[in-house]
Amino acid sequence: MTRTILFNKPFNVLSQFTDKGTEGSTRKTLSEFIDVPKVYAAGRLDRDSEGLLVLTDDGRLQSQIADPKHKLPKTYWVQVEGEPDDAALDALRQGVMLKDGKTKPAKVRRMAEPKGLWQRDPPVRFRKTVPDSWLEITIKEGKNRQVRRMTAAVNAPTLRLIRYSVGAWSIDGIKNGEWRDA
């Protein structure tokens, strides 16, 4: 029987069960939160990103989730520095040019800070003279650090990145650092 797990990954946790980094490294991994044999992350979520990580023991499902050719939408809540204007949001909606090519069009909307949002440890660094704002961005591809690079391309650097959903799965009802079966 196939097992699929939805995990609300905390900040500063690797999307893998072991740390193959430098010797003596003390980075947190999935093994500190999930003790389920033979499930693996379907796609990646950078160490400095938070939110939904889907794990499964089904190789075909894992490939379908991770492979951009299946166009599974991924929605992110993004706290950015500044308040992007309509032109910046339109640029994201049309696709922006990055070093590795132009992104596909994204769905983008302004949003209020998500209700019930957990505190990040360590907290986001704020600047008294520069406001911040929240965007909801949905993409159907997965270039390396894509959302961060997209917001930077429109002069709105990402301060905090939370993956809210992958396809029909979301972090609704899952506390940060916890998981449940899909």
Catalytic residues: 46
Element (DSSP H or E) covering residue 148: helix 146-153
Taken in order 53, 58, 59, 63, the sign of the CA dihedral is negative
Q: What is the DSSP letter of 145?
A: T
Q: How far apart are CA 161 and CA 163, in angstroms?
A: 7
Residue 173 burial (CB < 10 Å; 0-12/13-18/19+)?
exposed
Packing angle between helix 86-94 and helix 146-153, nearest 10 degrees?
140
Q: How far apart are CA 114 and CA 145, in angstroms?
A: 22
